[in-house]
Amino acid sequence: MKVHEITLEKKYHDAVEHWRRHNFKDYELLLENWDRYFPTDERFCLCAKLELGTSDQVQVGEHRGEKKRVAPDELTEEEARHLLGIIRAQASTEFGSIQQHSGTLERAHDDQDRFWVLRVMAEELRHGYQMIHLLLSQDWSKASGGVTGREMVEEILSMQTGNHVLDAFNLDYDSFLDNITFAALIDRVGKYQLTMQKVCAYRPMADSMPPMLREEAFHLAAGVIPLRRWAKRAAAGDPFITMTAIQHAVNKWLPRGLEMFGDERGGETNVKFGFKDMKNREAQDLYLEEVRRMIRDINARFLRARFPEIGAEQAEQVLADLERNRGAHRGVRHDDLLRLPDRRFFRRKGEPAFAMVGVDGEAFTDVEEYLRHLAKNLNEGYVASRDMRNYAEALRGVAAGTLAVADAVKKMPKLKRVGGTCPCSKGVRWVMEEGEGAPGAPASGAGA
């Protein structure tokens, strides 16, 4: 397919470069070593990319069969406002991901893993740049309440870890294991969102998706392939990598990934407007099945590394027996393998928000017992975090009947910056957001 490459107006391109110098210090190092680590791949371009030759007809929803819209004024005010929320959320996640990765990048076990994550960060930067292009290339004033494109860009580039739109992008990484688990799980959600938005009734958005999806495929590989290698090293007895550590990282990120789809009961608006082709629960179900297959593949590789004398077919049989009997095979127990957490486990938004459901689906009635269960099944760094402390306080209120679930969702605080919009300004404070994040409402454009 042919792609049209677009550079932002100089002042906005320079603003992104300014942000990059503060938040992505190894960018130039990546470009200098691109040919060494990615010799067969096209050189990186910080630009917006629009696919040429895509369908010009609306494919789903109440406008199906009509011409796709090419300007916000061709959408209803409600449609334009909803789509603007999707675009701003998408932009926030792209820049937020870079900030998260930066914190533990130097803890990579080897240079290949590090440069793979650097490439992910560069492509996330381009994806954010792409969304800024969508915000600036048209007049969104009727949907933005008078907020200008310049102000929207300024807001996006001022966000730090703690005040991004989606919760998954407000959690600090505890180790490089978070870098790769995030890529395997959260970037996989991104793949689903981009795939659903390929049909978008707003053509500039739809044309943005194919180039982003091709890059997203590498992001998944940057998570899955290292996880496979790490599982093999765990099987060989590496004292610094264990399946338990990997499981705890999965337990941390999967609940946040599920919430990125929005409330399980929602999504009809996106389909009705023609912005996506699946409702939330439908997409979430497919995502969970894909993660299940990924985990099973890693377990099979663990067994083959542990028992090198057996072939792939026999390893699959051993895995099937362990899954069925939950017993042991030559010293390897079922509990030594990775497992998919229950979809209700450790949820803070959506249908199961603040339900006390264990990693294997077991129900808890005592809040302190449940918190001990979480502490046992999450890594120590995260358990000691302020995020967990605030969750525990809200959960205790829900369990005691002094706090409604909807209010508990809103009660989770965010870290907000104060002062100027330049990332040089480091002032922060904890605030409570009023009227934000009720279970039945979308947390972002990903939800409704």
Which residue type sits at 111?
D
pLDDT in tens, 239-272: 999 999 999 999 999 999 999 899 999 999 999 9
What CATH number should be reported for the domain holding residue 31?
Answer: 1.10.620.20
Asked if the structure places residue 321 within a domain, the reply is no
Q: What is the dihedral of CA 132, 134, 136, 137, to 10 degrees?
A: 150
Examine the fold and report which residue of 291, 306, 321 is the final residue of a domain before the chain moves on. Answer: 306
Same domain for 47 and 182, yes or no, is yes
Q: Which domain, by its residues, includes 378?
A: 342-431
Spatial distance between the Cα atoms of 34 and 81, rounded to a whole number of angstroms:
39
Same domain for 70 and 217, yes or no, is yes
Which residue type sits at 201?
A
> Which has the closest alpha carbon to 361: 341, 379, 336?
341
Which residues of the chain have a pLDDT value below 70? 161-169, 412-448
Q: Is 322 helix (H, G, I), strand (E, B) or coil?
A: helix
Q: Give the list of residues 6+ apart from residue 145 with CB closer than 8 angstroms, or none.
A: none
Same domain for 124 and 181, yes or no, is yes
Is residue 362 left, alpha or beta, with left meaning phi > 0 and alpha meaning psi from -120 to 50?
beta
DSSP one-letter string for 420-440: -SSTT---EEEEPPTT---TT
Same domain for 18 and 111, yes or no, is yes
Same domain for 293 and 348, yes or no, is no
**pLDDT at res. 442:** 35
**pLDDT at res. 440:** 34
**pLDDT at res. 228:** 97
Asked if the structure places residue 324 within a domain, the reply is no
Same domain for 411 and 302, yes or no, is no
> Which has the closest alpha carbon to 49: 166, 110, 130, 153?
130
pLDDT in tens, 183-228: 999 999 999 999 999 999 999 999 999 999 999 999 999 999 999 9
When divided into structural domains, the chain yields a total of 2
| Predicted TM-score of the model (pTM) | 0.88
Asked if the structure places residue 447 within a domain, the reply is no
Same domain for 8 and 67, yes or no, is yes
Spatial distance between the Cα atoms of 200 and 151, rounded to a whole number of angstroms:
25
